[in-house]
């Protein structure tokens, strides 16, 4: 019904906005899922995104404060069956250096998962992969990290990673997701448990209510410029 | 960086046709052989990258292992870093002197214009304050909105016209059908 080319060009423009405004990531990615056959409704969703950008002051961006603490920390979270069509879940991850957000992602997972533990396990795996890459990049700058903390709000995932044995309920999880155990043992990362309220990556997995959205947005240092000066 | 790609040297044999107003009347069937890279050439970006890389490596810079467009150099306790993005180069140092020195060095080797303190890069507006850095895309968003809103208004108007046309024909068909007793 709707012009596909136009829809895609809108998505492209919006995706670049996420470079300085990770808080719109979820809604843009949600719209991007309908690229193959955009209907009028998804078109309106996209229009809403644009209207929101317009309504909010356009000076919102990422704020990088100067700080003595310079540590890499990763957060990983996911929803459970966010996509009602394919029954797949969305994983969201973000990495912070000190207090500054430097890397983030929101992605629908490639496979259907059977339990929340599996979903979060997959998300933690992709967060681990990103951390490994960032560690390698930071080495170029002459900074070495060991035992990078990876915050996950699911107790089972922490246990699964720390105790590398096969359970009857995790047998089916693909081997590629188990590389995280390897890196946990090598000491590259260190999986930690975190409360759901403190989980910063929550904002990359699902639409949130206004209060929580604003709280997480502020904690990720996505601020309006006029509020700083 | 001005006309960056022209700085690249070319290792392969590439020929171009005689361009307009550079034709040789005596030898109309001849072609030119390229010594330097040209814009629009498939090899141009690679040639430029190799040229800049070799120059920086010869000046004692170390190439990043993961990001090969990141170059770092340690001078005593100070660190000089630069990142190349095609023909945009951003660099920074813990010591102001090295920044100026590096700027002069690059200006000697390539035709380069210094823009000064980083404030705009790849559509990102960067505000550097005393104790913090702020990155936003206000200008990009404004331009994007202007473009998209304009397209959408036209698009929706067009669709409505099409829809109206369809309705009219359907009604007509129904009317015609009922007239002839179908």
Q: What residue ranges do the domains of chain A occupy?
A: 1-56, 72-202
Residue A129 tokens read as: 């992969």
B78 sits in which H/E element: strand B78-85
Chain B positions touching A142 (Cβ under 8 A) are 72, 74, 79
- Of A59-63, A91-95, A218-222, B66-70, minimum mean pLDDT range: A59-63
pLDDT tens digit string along A78-109? 988 888 888 899 999 999 988 888 899 999 99
- The CA distance from A21 to A9, in Å, is 19
Length of chain A: 229
pLDDT tens digit string along B26-58? 887 888 888 778 877 888 888 888 888 998 899
Q: Are A83 and A102 in contact (CB under 8 A)?
A: no
Q: What is the CA radius of gyration of chain A?
A: 18
Angle at alpha carbon of residue B90, lines to B88 and B93, rounded to 5°:
160
To the nearest whole angstrom, how far is the Cα of A165 from the nearest Cα of chain B?
A: 33
Residue B109 tokens read as: 């080797």
The DSSP output letter for A13 is H
Quick check: B66 and A137 CB within 8 A?
yes
Higher pLDDT, B151 or A170: A170
Chain B positions touching A6 (Cβ under 8 A) are 151-152, 155
Residue A94 tokens read as: 């973000």
Quick check: A17 and B140 CB within 8 A?
yes
Quick check: B136 and A54 CB within 8 A?
no
Is the pLDDT reported for residue B60 higher than 60? yes
> Residues 106..145 of A with a Cβ closer than 8 Å to B: which?
133, 136-137, 139-142
Higher pLDDT, A2 or A29: A29
User: B76 touching A, CB under 8 A?
Assistant: no
Q: Which of A78, A6, A55 is nearest to A35 (CA)?
A: A6
Which residue intervals of chain A are DSSP H helices?
4-17, 25-32, 40-55, 116-140, 155-162, 179-186, 210-219, 225-228
Residue A86 tokens read as: 């394919």
- The CA distance from A188 to A105, in Å, is 21
User: A50 touching B, CB under 8 A?
Assistant: yes
What ipTM score was computed for the predicted complex, to two decimals? 0.73
Give buried/exposed letters for A97-111 (b at 16+ CB in 10 A, else e): bebbbebbbbbbbee
The pLDDT value recorded for residue A138 is 87
Which residue intervals of chain B are DSSP H helices?
44-58, 96-109, 138-179
Is the pLDDT reported for residue A75 higher than 90? yes
Helix (H, G, I), strand (E, B) or coil at B39: coil
Sorting pLDDT into bands at 50, 70 and 90, what band is B170?
A: low
pLDDT tens digit string along A127-163? 999 999 999 888 888 888 888 999 998 888 888 888 8
A64 sits in which H/E element: strand A60-65
Domain range annotation of chain B = 4-116
- The CA distance from A66 to B122, in Å, is 23
The pLDDT value recorded for residue A127 is 92
Write down the CATH number for the domain with range A72-202: 3.30.420.10
Is the pLDDT reported for residue B164 higher than 80? no
Nearest residue in A to B71, CA atom: A140
């Amino acid at each position: 019904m709707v012009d596909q080319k136009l829809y895609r060009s809108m998505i492209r423009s919006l995706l670049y906005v996420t470079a300085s405004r990770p808080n719109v990531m979820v809604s843009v990615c949600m719209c991007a899922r309908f690229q193959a056959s955009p209907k009028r409704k998804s078109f309106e969703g996209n229009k809403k995104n644009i209207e929101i950008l317009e309504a909010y002051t356009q000076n919102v961006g990422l704020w990088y404060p100067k700080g003595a603490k310079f540590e890499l920390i990763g957060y990983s979270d996911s929803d459970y069956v966010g996509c009602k069509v394919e029954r797949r879940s969305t994983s969201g991850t973000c990495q912070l250096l000190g207090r500054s957000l430097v890397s983030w992602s929101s992605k629908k997972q490639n496979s259907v998962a059977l339990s929340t533990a599996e979903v979060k396990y997959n998300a933690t795996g992709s967060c681990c992969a990103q951390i490994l890459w960032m560690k390698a990049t930071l080495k170029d700058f002459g900074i070495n990290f060991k035992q990078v903390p990876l915050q996950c709000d699911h107790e089972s995932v922490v246990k699964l990673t720390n105790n590398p044995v096969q359970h009857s309920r995790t047998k089916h999880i693909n081997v590629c997701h188990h590389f995280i155990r390897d890196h946990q043992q090598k000491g590259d990362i260190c999986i930690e448990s975190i409360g759901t309220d403190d989980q910063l990556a929550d904002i990359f997995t699902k639409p949130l209510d206004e209060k929580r959205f604003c709280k997480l947005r502020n904690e990720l240092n996505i601020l309006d410029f006029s509020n700083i000066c | 960086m001005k006309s960056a790609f022209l700085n690249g040297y070319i290792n392969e044999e590439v020929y171009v046709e005689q361009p307009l107003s550079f034709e040789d009347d005596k030898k109309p069937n001849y072609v030119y052989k390229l010594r330097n890279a040209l814009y629009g050439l498939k090899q141009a970006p690679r040639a430029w990258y190799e040229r800049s890389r070799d120059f920086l490596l010869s000046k004692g810079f170390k190439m990043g292992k993961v990001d090969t467009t990141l170059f770092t150099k340690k001078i005593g306790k100070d660190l000089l870093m630069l990142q190349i993005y095609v023909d945009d180069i951003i660099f920074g140092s813990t010591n102001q002197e090295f920044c100026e020195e590096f700027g002069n060095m690059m200006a000697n080797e390539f035709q380069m214009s210094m823009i000064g303190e980083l404030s705009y890069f790849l559509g990102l507006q960067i505000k550097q304050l005393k104790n913090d850095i702020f990155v936003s895309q206000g200008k990009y968003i404004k331009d994007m909105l202007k473009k998209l809103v304009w397209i959408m208004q036209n698009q929706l108007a067009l669709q409505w016209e099409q829809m109206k046309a369809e309705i009219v024909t359907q009604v007509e068909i129904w009317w015609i059908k009922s007239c002839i007793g179908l």
